[in-house]
Amino acid sequence: MTDKVIISSEEKQADAQLEILFSGPLSLLDHRHPAVNEELQKKILHDRYHQKLIADGLETGHFFYDHQNNIRFQTKQPVYTFAGFIFEAFAVNVLNSNMRTIGKRAFSWCTNREQCKDDYIDQFKVIGTGFITTKTLHPGFYGPQSNFDLVFIRKNLRQDVHEPATVLGTTNQAGIQIKAITGSEETEIVEPLRTGRYSHVLTFLRHSDGEHSYNRCMTILNSMYRNGVIQLSEKYDIERRISHPEMFGIDQREVDDYYQYILYWYTGHAQPDQFITEGAGLEIKGYKYSNGLLVPTD
């Protein structure tokens, strides 16, 4: 979109009206600016994340094509569960697109490797264990109920098979569980790590008060230690196996913005009926899904 956009906003404490002229893509605007009202904020986030949400939803299977080539949405899950699936696709795309930086840090963390050379990490790619493409391309790693949402795999050229990355010094498969929650960290993250259900957890979101889910986990662990529920060694061990986006170089503001758009869309504020049955199907014609992105079929 390159048409001029007029933004009008009435300040609550004043009668003055602010008008801003802008020429360029809406996605370049700062939706947090006080002059941007809620309706324009939705449009900015839609322009920035519309195709990404479709691509990520196609990968997770929550979006699909009908016989008329329209995009449909189907889920009975609450928004935080749906967001968790979307952020799995988000994470796969970010890690694979930045394998020598963000991907390498995540790989070193979940495999307990302090250092990893570029020529070694270049052998790997990240896949989602519950993804449509994994079911098609790597059926041996497909497992929607797996305790790993993401795994690193590489091609064993001698045996002509793909094999997973393992934890250093063991034959245990390495992987990451993704969480997009704003509550229940003790039951959703801490306890599954204590019992061995999860190996490593990357938690994405902030609470409504601004505190990150990661920090809430640290508070819970400190309380458990003070109350004698866990020993200091266990506290440190669990802390090392919880991460947040900025630990690997993922911009938390980008995560926050994407989640805000997911909420707008899911709760109906972004006109989901029109988005699914009309706009999306027409817009996607001429595009295909590839490696977490919508790309032209040409």
Domain ranges of the chain: 97-253
Report which residue type is found at 71: I
pLDDT at 289 over 60: no
The arrangement of strands across the sheet holding 242-243 comes to 177-179, 201-203, 242-243
Residue 90: which region, alpha, beta or left (left: phi > 0; alpha: psi -120 to 50)?
Answer: alpha
What are the Cα distances from residue 215, in Å, to 191, 197, 239?
Answer: 16, 21, 10
Round to whole Å and give the CA distance between 137 and 45.
Answer: 32
Please give the pLDDT value at position 234: 97
pLDDT at 298 over 60: no
pLDDT at 43 over 90: no
Please give the pLDDT value at position 262: 86
Residues in a beta bridge with 85: none
Round to whole Å and give the CA distance between 125 and 107.
Answer: 10
pLDDT at 47 over 60: yes
pLDDT at 280 over 90: no
Please give the pLDDT value at position 26: 53
Phi and psi, residue 256, nearest 5°: -60, -45
C-beta of residue 59 within 8 angstroms of C-beta of residue 87: no
Helix, strand and coil percent figures for the chain, each rounded to 5 = 45, 20, 35
Mean residue pLDDT of the chain comes to 78
Q: Which has the higher per-residue pLDDT, 284 or 77?
A: 77
Confidence band of 277 (pLDDT split at 50, 70, 90): very low
| CA proximity to 143, closest of 170, 169, 173 | 173
pLDDT at 17 over 60: no
How many Cα neighbours within 13 Å face the side chain of 169? Answer: 3
What are the pLDDT digits (tens) for 211-226? 999 999 999 999 999 9
Please give the pLDDT value at position 85: 86
C-beta of residue 261 within 8 angstroms of C-beta of residue 45: yes
C-beta of residue 174 within 8 angstroms of C-beta of residue 214: no
